[in-house]
Amino acid sequence: MLFHEDSTTETFYTFHQEMARLLEFENFEEFDYIFITDDESAISETLRKNFKRSLHLLCCEHLENCMIRNCTYKKNTKKQKDLINLIMGDMAGADSLPEFDKLVGEGVPSDAFNGNYFEEFAIKLRKFVVEPRLKAPNVIPKFMKSNAIESHNSRIKDYFDHHPKQLDDGVNTCKEMVDDIMRQLMMALIDEGIYRLAPGSKIKKPNKTSWKHWDEDQRYRFFIKAVCTRKTIQGTKPCHPTLPDMTDLSLEERKIARATHKQAATKLNKDNKKKQYEAALDANLPALNANSHIKKKPYQKTSSAACRTRDMYNHYPKRE
């Protein structure tokens, strides 16, 4: 709906039909994609028609709020809270369909809802909350909500200034938004920008001096390992060429393949050292041996406690 002026069923059907055509691929798994919506009919119905081999979920928070609005019990009372815990806790979090059916069969108090509201609600809860989660338990968590998606949606609207965009313009704006957020998150590692690491965070910060002399690719790799895998890196390893498959090669051809591979690896190492040496000159920092390290003394059993006089994040080759 960010790319057009209205959000009618016809508009969404055309949009999702084209999206399904562009995203079509050969998939031998049970499902292609996972969608989660707030059950807006213009979106959810056209999604289900165009992506039939996908899992479709409903946001548990929206379902809960809808249920509360239709509940006859007074808000925030113990009676209502117990009912919510039963339906959106025990039923929605059932570990199997028989368990869900058993809880539904036991029923809820007859005065909790008017008419057959709960019967229809239970069908929706089973089909769009419990069943998809049981089909993909490693991907879909219990009580899944669309809060994160709506947060991104609101951020995109701010970048769009709440005006419709042409598709190419909209895609470029989304890319700019993602790049901007990534830069701000990366700057938070050195306590700059609009974000900050949470108190007590286990994410290790890089050395500011090293950070300033790293290129964008080095910063990105550090960010991915430090934040996404919660590991830090000290320098970067060159990507060596891989040895070709020599299964069907003769002895002479194997010798030639190994020699060619060795030459390519040697050249790559020399080029990498040359770049490090040039970086050391540009940064006006001491050029250090990339393989240098503080050695243990013969009687030492633990790691060396020697005082390091240089930054361990920067490893530069010796001057020639």
Domain locations in the chain?
9-151, 200-283
Cβ–Cβ contacts within 10 Å for residue 23, how many? 12
State the pLDDT at residue 301: 58
Nearest by Cα to 310 from 282, 290, 288, 295: 288
Of 182-186, 214-218, 282-286, the one with minimum mean pLDDT is 282-286
pLDDT tens column, 22-56? 776 666 567 778 888 887 777 777 777 778 778 88
Please, how many CA atoms are within 13 Å of residue 173, restricted to the half-sphere of its CB? 19
pLDDT at 152 over 70: yes
State the pLDDT at residue 177: 84
Cβ partners under 8 Å of residue 45, min gap 6: 9
Mean pLDDT of the 285-296 span:
48
Going by pLDDT thresholds of 50, 70 and 90, the confidence category of residue 182 is confident
Cβ partners under 8 Å of residue 141, min gap 6: 133
Cβ partners under 8 Å of residue 16, min gap 6: 46, 47, 49, 50, 51
pLDDT at 309 over 60: no
Spatial separation of the C-alpha atoms in residues 265 and 268, rounded to whole Å: 5
Tokens of 217: 């690719």
State the pLDDT at residue 118: 92
- Strand 34-37 and strand 55-58: the pairing is parallel
- Phi, psi angle pair for 222, to nearest 5°: -65, -45
pLDDT tens column, 97-128? 999 999 998 888 889 999 999 999 999 999 99
Spatial separation of the C-alpha atoms in residues 114 and 108, rounded to whole Å: 12
State the pLDDT at residue 133: 92
